[in-house]
Amino acid sequence: MKQNMRQRYNDTINLISHLILTKPKPVMTLLMKYGVRFEEKPTKKELADEVVELLKSTNEKFQEDLSNLLTVHIQFRGKEMLALDRSKYSSYDDGDEDEDEFWGALAKGAVGIIGGLFGKKRRRRRRNRGGGNAAALAASRAAAAKRQADAQAARVRRDFQMKMQAMEAQRRREQEAARRRQEAAERRRREEAERRRREDEARSKKEAESKKKSNMMLMVGGVIGLLAIAGIFMAKSNSQKPMMPYVPPQPISNR
């Protein structure tokens, strides 16, 4: 995949910005290895500024170490790079091995791009130096080259700052979207639980009413049954009583 210089530069800014934004501690450790000291915990902007200064110095060992750090970062965090448009790399989505190889190549090549921006200017300055007694001209050219390098460094710092701000804003938006999704899911869970509770309550109430009616019918049936049995018993009792013989009244004697 061929990329023009601008695209490779943008990818490099994206990669290093994401590394500083999400893993500042390894970056700080790397900077301290090369003599950078911090009195307090550095801000991400300060880390970016120091990275630019070391890249500006064209220290090849630092570029290599930063490249290795980026490669590790990409292997573990490449898929969540917030600012890279993955649609441009769709041809690398078929296999993890090809994808890792691509991200690693991008990291190593991209770091060289930023370092090369400063290094090329200095090499051009060395080629343009005159010999003999042209010390004043050489000094003037050196000053101009330094101003150009400083301007490039300022541009890189500015791009780091803008990219990290954009990434941070994107991450906040994603976190807010995730929070809203979580709240919506929790709300749906509560609504579902409330719906089930109401259904269970209605079912329990219906079952209780049905049971109450059944018990009432059983009680009524039992009473009716008892009354029927009592009636039958009384009827039988009355039918089994002996009939008293009829005795006609006796006439009253006048004696």
SS3 per residue for 33-78: HCCCCCCCCCCHHHHHHHHHHHHHCCCHHHHHHHHHHHHHHHHHHH
Instruction: Determine the pLDDT at residue 97.
Output: 58
- Report pLDDT for 56: 83
Q: Can you tell me the distance from the alpha carbon of 219 to that of 25, in angstroms, rounded to the nearest whole number?
A: 80
pLDDT at 115: 64
Closest among 53, 77, 51, 76 to 65, alpha carbons compared: 51
244: amino acid identity, one letter: M
| Token duo for residue 75 | 């292997």
pLDDT value, residue 189 = 92
Q: What's the pLDDT score for residue 173?
A: 87
* pLDDT recorded at residue 125: 46
User: What type of residue is 149?
Assistant: A
In the chain, where the domains are located: 5-124+146-161
Instruction: Report the alpha-carbon distance of residue 168 to residue 20 in Å, rounded.
Output: 11
Q: What is the pLDDT of residue 87?
A: 42
pLDDT tens for the 255 residues of the chain, in order: 445 777 778 878 888 888 898 889 999 999 999 999 988 999 999 999 999 989 888 788 888 888 888 878 877 766 555 444 444 443 344 445 555 666 666 666 667 677 666 655 444 444 544 455 567 777 788 788 778 778 888 888 899 889 888 888 888 888 899 899 999 999 999 999 999 988 988 888 888 888 888 778 877 777 777 777 767 767 666 666 565 665 666 666 555
What the block records as the tokens of 229 is: 């049995």
Task: Tell me what pLDDT residue 34 has.
Answer: 92
Q: What pLDDT does residue 104 have?
A: 63
Q: What is the pTM of this model?
A: 0.60
Residue 139 has what pLDDT? 79
pLDDT at 94: 45
